[in-house]
Amino acid sequence: MEIIVCIKPVLDPELPPAKFAVDGKKNEVIPPEGMPFVMSPYDALAVEAALKIKEAKGGKVTVLTLGTKFTEDVMRKAVAMGADEGFILNDAAFDGSDSFATAYILTQAVKKIGTFDLILCGRQAADWDAGVVGSAMAEYLGVSLVVRAKAIEVLDGKLKVERMMTNGSEVLDVPLPALVTLSSEMGQARIPSGRGIIIAARKQFSKWGAADVSAEAAKTGLAAARNSLVKLFIPAYQRTCEMVTGKDPAEAAALLAEKILAIKP
């Protein structure tokens, strides 16, 4: 199986709200000093899923990332986990690309790589939480699509994919080539071994620009964006918390019980 995984560097989504800041003038997030971005957790699951398939059926895992910041870091993480090679898409013309431009550029890169059986993405990037790029790539490539998968199995040249539904799940029969996006229910991504990390540290990644993947300027970058960001801000919660206290926890609890009954519908 030739598997391509799309991974995105994002501001650590577990970052406590207190450390999260927004530049109101520039409408952009201010990342905490010195803290590198991480591989979007759902993408790490996509890498994990790819490696599991490779372990079962053999083949090759190639990772792709588009961006400017910390792309090397996430590439190294993927290789440390066990991915075979990776390409970084980076070009001034790509800056400000929206989900569809991103999908277009990644699709062009996939075409340049040429052969593939399966493309894996995260269900959504843990920064803008859109959940669009994978689906759009499937449309552009005209391959079968399953979103929010929790398990993938390769059966005689086809996929058997279990995907999450609000009230349960569905098992689907999926012809190849296909694009599948992974959801958190799939489990945990592996932690790279020390050896893996050292191999990754030595790895070089070729960078592709617009010309390399023959991406039309009109379809990439801010100019091609279908939405403009009017405002980005941190929501203010108009709540003031009344702290219940007492001489001991029991008394406090008793007090809380009364107050709860008071507001109980």
Partner 1 sequence: MDIFDAIVVGAGPAGCAAAYTMAKAGLNVLVLDRGQYVGAKNMWGGAFFGPVMNELFPGFWKEAPVERFLSRHVISFMTKEDCLSVDFKSSHGDFDAAPGFIILRARFDRWMGGKVEEAGAIIATGLEVTDFIFEGNQIKGVKVGDEDFLANVVVLADGVNSLLATKAKLRSDFKAIDLKQGVKEVIRLPREVIEDRFGVTGNEGVVMEFVGSCTRGLPGGGFIYTNKDSLSVGVVVQLNALLKNQVKASDLIDEFKEHPAVRPLWRNGETLEYSAHLIPVSGIEMMPKLYADGIVVAGDAAAMVLGTGLILEGANFAMAAGIAAGETVIRAKEKGDFTSSSLSNYEQLLKSRFVLKDLETFRRAPHFLENPRIYNAYPELACGLMRNIFHSDGKPRKNTFETLWKSMQGKVSLWQIAADAMKARKAL
Partner 2 sequence: MDNNKIILVVGEMEKGKTASITRELLGGARALADQTGGEVDLVLFGEAAASLAAEGIALGADKVLVASNAGYAEFNSDGYTAFVCDQCTKIKPALCLMGQTDLGRDVAPRVAARLGVALAMDCIAVDFDAENGRFLQTRPAFGGKALSVMASTTGLLQINTIRAKSMAAATPQDGRTGETIALADAPSAGAIKVKLIEAKRMEAEGVKLEDAKIIVSGGGGLGGPDGFAMIKELADLLGGVVGATRVPVDENWVPLSMEIGQTGKMVSPELYIAIGISGAAQHITGCINSKKIVTINRDPDANMFKISDLGLVADYKVVVPVLIEKLKAMGQ
Are the C-beta atoms of residues 101 and 93 closer than 8 Å to each other? no
Residues 6+ apart with CB under 8 A from 132: 99, 100, 103
What is Dmax (Cα atoms) for the chain?
A: 72
Look-up: residue for tokens 């577990």?
14
CB of 13 to ligand FAD, least distance (A): 4
**Residue 125 binds which entry of partner 1, ligand AMP, partner 2, none, with Cβ cut-offs from 5 to 8 Å by kind?**
ligand AMP
Q: State the amino acid at position 80 in one-letter form.
A: A
Compute the distance between CA of residue 133 and CA of residue 123 in angstroms, rounded to an integer: 9
Angle at CA of residue 40, ends 39 and 42, nearest 5°: 125
Contact region for ligand AMP (CB under 6 A) — 121-129, 215-223, 236-244, 255-263?
121-129
| # residues contacting ligand AMP (CB under 6 A) | 24
Are the C-beta atoms of residues 7 and 181 closer than 8 Å to each other? no
Look-up: residue for tokens 């588009």?
66
Picking from 128, 175, 120, the residue whose alpha carbon sits closest to that of residue 150 is 120
Site string (183-212) toward partner 1, x via CB under 8 A: --------xxxxx-xx--xx----------
Q: Which residues pair with 122 in a beta bridge?
A: 182
Compute the distance between CA of residue 50 and CA of residue 82 in angstroms, rounded to an integer: 10
Chosen residue from 3, 11, 37, 42 binding ligand AMP by CB under 6 A: 42
Q: State the amino acid at position 212 in one-letter form.
A: D
Sites for ligand FAD among residues 110-139 (CB under 6 A): 126
**Residue 235 binds which entry of ligand FAD, partner 1, partner 2, none, with Cβ cut-offs from 5 to 8 Å by kind?**
partner 2
Chosen residue from 3, 8, 39, 41 binding ligand FAD by CB under 6 A: 41
**Residue 169 binds which entry of partner 2, partner 1, ligand FAD, none, with Cβ cut-offs from 5 to 8 Å by kind?**
partner 2
Run of H or E including 86:
strand 85-89
Compute the distance between CA of residue 60 and CA of residue 168 in angstroms, rounded to an integer: 32
Q: Are strands 178-182 and 144-155 parallel, antiparallel or unpaired?
A: parallel
Q: Which CB sits closer to partner 1, 11 or 119?
A: 11
CB of 184 to ligand FAD, least distance (A): 7
**Residue 195 binds which entry of partner 1, ligand FAD, partner 2, none, with Cβ cut-offs from 5 to 8 Å by kind?**
partner 1
Site string (7-46) toward partner 1, x via CB under 8 A: -----------xx-x----------xxxxx----------
Q: Write out the two tokens for 200.
A: 């990754």
Q: Which residues pair with 4 in a beta bridge?
A: 62, 119
**Residue 36 binds which entry of partner 1, partner 2, ligand AMP, none, with Cβ cut-offs from 5 to 8 Å by kind?**
partner 1
* Residues making contact with partner 1 (CB under 8 A): 18-19, 21, 32-36, 191-195, 197-198, 201-202
Residues lying near ligand FAD in the complex (CB under 6 A): 13-14, 41, 126
The residues binding ligand AMP (CB under 6 A) are 6-8, 40, 42-43, 46, 64-67, 99, 102, 106, 121-122, 124-125, 128, 130-134
